[in-house]
């Protein structure tokens, strides 16, 4: 490498912040001791793309916006409805999608199933693995079914070779498993480093946009649950999908964190089986399986995930503390939100919770941040405190304010319809949504205006 064309920089391994000197604390993410030294080639910043200058100029020609036609055939169905919903209706031609998740969660299995369905439909698919051998992938593929001749497999980590293979074979969809194993020879850093991951993604981005190929990138996650490497990765790609759930549990949740072609609120629910990932078409019924009968502290609430209502079980355990400072713990919901709701209960309803330990759990391992579950949390805490079981056929939803009022939430009628479909008999809703929810509903709808009003009508 020619003298004067290299530079030593320091990158934050957590967020990708770049500095000319080593820093103890990263100014970007405020983490300590995350900076690593890397030597980069200055010419890489000028020549990270593929193809000639003439090709790039032709690809950058402007066009008239009003003449661009949007057609449904621009989206390719994967054959997995849950995945198509999260993607916004299918795979968009020329898109770059990042799939992240814990090791063993099912990222490679899901993408291999997508390859199977697409190849069976006659689409040319190229699966590129940098972590497993051809024999290992073949053994896993045999459990999913028989693949057609449209499915191609390549075990390679050199992006120069990968780019040549993609341009020569011209597949419609490419799977990169994983981005941390890929390397660009122009970057002197080791594979998996911040600069390698960033430059490798840049090359794949130009391949996707320049050739109109849909590319899926598998990314490892850190202990905090975010994709390893610089945060700029999520800004470069079109779609970011996260696999959630305990690897030892049978179900998985696919969530869209970023999507330029659809909503980011949609989720897909899958169940891990011996033959791969199976779609869960009724997540509400699946989440409520094994619910205890006549147990205090258990309430069913309804949350919205995009356009889909989802019934979940909220559990609370309240008991007197043996120490001076009571313990509070939450699983699946915001810890500070639960403390706020307990303070509202104590102030507005006179329930003495200051000397009690409190544990709140959303069963199934799902994480919910929507304020619509506030009313369910309040009823679950009060049910456990009084040791009085609620009606097992009751569903509650509504946002609770600091003055104790129960506020309206979006899509209330759809939530009531979901509860009715699963055989529930009562639904506690905000009073302002009562008339809307009663229309066409056969179940009993109870409107409440405040926390105290809910306590009187539910426990009264």
Binding residues for ATP: 101-108
The residues, ordered by sequence, that sit 6+ positions from 416 with a Cβ below 8 Å of its Cβ are 427, 429, 437, 441, 443, 445
Gyration radius of the chain over CA positions: 26
Helix ranges (H only) for 362-403 are: 374-386
Listed in sequence order, the residues at least 6 apart from 254 whose beta carbon sits closer than 8 Å to its beta carbon are 82, 83, 86, 110, 241, 242, 243, 244, 267, 268, 269, 270
| Closest alpha carbon to 15 in 183, 226, 186, 178 | 226
Q: What count of residues does the chain have? A: 460
Alpha carbons 344 and 349: distance in angstroms, whole number? 8
Cα–Cα distance for residue pair 79/30, rounded to 1 Å: 43
Residues flagged as binding site = 101-108
Residues forming beta bridges with residue 311, ordered by sequence position: 302
Q: At what angle do helices 374-386 and 335-349 cross, to 10 degrees?
A: 60
Give residues with Cβ within 8 angstroms of 1, minimum separation 6: 41, 188
In whole angstroms, give the CA distance from residue 202 to residue 45.
Answer: 10
């Amino acid at each position: 490498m020619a003298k004067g064309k290299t530079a030593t920089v320091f990158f934050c391994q957590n967020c990708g912040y770049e500095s000319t000197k080593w820093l103890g604390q990263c100014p970007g993410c405020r983490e300590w001791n995350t900076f690593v030294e890397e030597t980069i080639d200055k010419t890489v910043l000028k020549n990270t793309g593929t193809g000639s200058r003439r090709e790039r100029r032709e690809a950058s020609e402007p066009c008239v916006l009003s003449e661009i036609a949007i057609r449904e055939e621009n989206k390719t169905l994967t054959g997995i409805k849950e995945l198509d919903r999260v993607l916004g209706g299918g795979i968009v031609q020329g898109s770059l999608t990042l799939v992240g998740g814990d090791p063993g969660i099912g990222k490679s299995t899901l993408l291999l199933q997508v390859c199977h369905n697409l190849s069976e439909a006659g689409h040319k698919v190229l699966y590129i693995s940098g972590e497993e051998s051809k024999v290992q992938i073949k053994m896993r593929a045999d459990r999913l079914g028989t693949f057609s001749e449209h499915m191609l497999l390549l075990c390679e980590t050199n992006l120069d070779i990968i780019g040549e293979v993609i341009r020569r074979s011209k597949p419609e969809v490419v799977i990169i498993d994983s981005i941390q194993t890929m390397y660009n020879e122009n970057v002197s850093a080791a594979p998996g480093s911040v600069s390698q991951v960033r430059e490798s993604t840049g090359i794949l981005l130009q391949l996707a946009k320049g050739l109109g190929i849909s590319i899926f990138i598998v990314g490892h996650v850190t202990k905090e649950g975010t994709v390893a490497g610089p945060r700029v990765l999520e800004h470069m790609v079109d779609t970011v999908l996260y696999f959630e759930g305990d690897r030892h549990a049978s179900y998985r949740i696919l969530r869209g964190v970023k999507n330029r072609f659809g909503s980011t609120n949609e989720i897909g629910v899958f169940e891990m089986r011996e033959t791969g990932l199976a779609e869960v078409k009724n997540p509400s019924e699946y989440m409520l399986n094994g619910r205890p009968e006549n147990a205090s502290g258990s309430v069913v609430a309804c949350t919205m995930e995009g356009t889909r209502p989802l019934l979940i079980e909220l559990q609370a355990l309240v008991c007197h503390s043996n120490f001076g400072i009571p313990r509070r713990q939450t699983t699946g919901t915001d810890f500070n939100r639960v403390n706020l709701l307990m303070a509202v209960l104590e102030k507005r309803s006179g329930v003495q919770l200051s000397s009690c330990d409190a544990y709140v759990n959303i069963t199934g391992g799902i994480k919910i941040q929507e304020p619509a579950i506030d009313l369910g949390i309040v009823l679950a805490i009060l049910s456990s405190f009084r040791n009085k079981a609620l009606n097992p056929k009751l569903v509650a939803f509504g946002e609770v304010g600091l003055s104790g009022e129960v506020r309206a939430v979006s899509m209330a009628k759809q939530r009531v319809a979901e509860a009715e479909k699963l055989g529930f008999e009562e639904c506690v809703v905000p009073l302002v949504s009562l008339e809307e929810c009663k229309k066409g509903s056969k179940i009993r709808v109870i409107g409440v205006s405040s926390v105290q009003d809910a306590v009187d009508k539910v426990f009264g």
